[in-house]
Each structure stands twice: as C-alpha cells, then as structure tokens.
Amino acid sequence: MEVKTFSYRFAEEILQHPKFIMIYEELIEVCKDCPVPLYVGKSKKQKQLEVIQQLMNTYFLLRFKSLGWESEPFATPDTSEDALRSDFRKSFVDPQTGEVLLTIQIEVEFGNVASSYRNYFKFQLSFANALTDICVLILPSSSLSKRIDSGVSNFEKTKREIPSAKLSITVPTLVLGLFDDCSTIWNVKNITEDLKVLKGDSRATYFRHCEIVREYIDSLE
C-alpha cells in the first residue's frame, strides 16, 4: 500500500522529530502493510465494489493490538455505557525515565463520510480532556473508497475539509491516506467464497474471519 500524508497543526513534523520518529515509523509501516482484500463479484448490482472493508478493519485491530495499542479506549473521561470510544490509543514511554512522551489516538475510517465528522468531534474531546496529544486518521484514497462502497470517507476529501475547521479542531492531526499500488493485493476469494466468513458478520463466522487475517499478518514476517 502506498501511504500519503496530510499534516494538520504540525502533527507530522512533531512525529518526525528524532524523539518520536519510532512512533511515526510504526504508523507508516502498519499502513503500508494493510491488505487490499479483493473479492470480484462481491456485489451483483455494483460490479465496481470488490474490496472487503471488514478484513481491512480487522487487520488494523489485530496489528495495532499486537503492537500494544489499546482498542476502543474512552474518548472522554466519561466511562458510562454510552460514552464515546475511539479506535486505538497508545502512550509512548521513555524507557529510561518512565515518563510518558506522547499519547496518540487513532481512528480507522472505512465507513460513511458522516463518520468522519464524529471522528473530529472525538479527537477534539479527547484533546480537550488531556487524553491524547496527537490524533491520527486512517482513510482510503478516493479511488479505493469507491471499490469499498458508496459514500465512504476518503483522504482527498478530508485533506480539503480539515483546514476549514481550524477554529474548532485544535488537536494536531495526522491524516494517512491508503492508496492501492498493487503491492498488497490479497485475493481472498481464493481462501473462501463464503462472504459471511470474510465479513465476519456473526459469532459463528468471526473466529475464522480473524484467523484468516492473522494468517495474512503472519505472512508479512
């Protein structure tokens, strides 16, 4: 996967500082390894839809968790059942002093464009409540999004929109765009033609769904 970046309020510049470069490199590596799970014929009515986003979501879940990221952390100090949650968060600690150097919060967005605005809101709430220092938004490119579903958030649109909200979004944000360069094409139809398994949309299929993604991650080593 080719990764393009957009730095808002100097997020990328901060992460590329020698003190934090290992964080930046970890984010880029995870994104570069993200698969493009192809299933030609996924939709009978819309032939251009051939990428299974659920496998991409699970890839990020399993990969980030393996690297010590907390999944579904609270986005606000409120810990009630209905409180907002983010996708991932990790605090990077100085091994010598034990001091927290930086806390990063991530949203992976392969859903409807309306979800992006909720992401901005969660980012700002977390930043305002000192739960994060920098936020990261991972999105498909416009061309890749159109192969996932209609109305999916994309990198190009986000890059145009965020600067117009500079008075309301004050948290440094790094936007990472995923562009299919054919380096991580993954023909999942060769593994199984059962879309229920590939989408992992039930308890009965989720275990096998995760197993398939773990096999992909293991193949990267």
As a whole number, mean pLDDT of residues 70-77 equals: 93
Tens-digit pLDDT profile for residues 63-73: 999 999 999 99
pTM over 0.75: yes
As a whole number, mean pLDDT of residues 216-220 equals: 96
Residue 16 has pLDDT above 90, yes or no: yes
pLDDT score for 30: 98
Question: What is the strand order of the sheet 100-108 is part of?
Answer: 2-8, 173-179, 134-140, 100-108, 88-93, 70-71
* Residue 33 amino acid letter: D
What mean pLDDT is reported for the chain? 93
Confidence of residue 181 (pLDDT cuts 50, 70, 90): very high
As a whole number, mean pLDDT of residues 74-84 equals: 85
Confidence of residue 114 (pLDDT cuts 50, 70, 90): confident
* Residue 85 amino acid letter: R
| 8 Å CB contact between 51 and 148 | yes
CATH classification code of 2-219: 3.40.91.20
* String of DSSP letters for 112-124: BTHHHHHHHHHHH
- Rounded alpha-carbon distances, angstroms, from residue 155 to 7, 77, 102: 12, 29, 25
Confidence of residue 152 (pLDDT cuts 50, 70, 90): very high
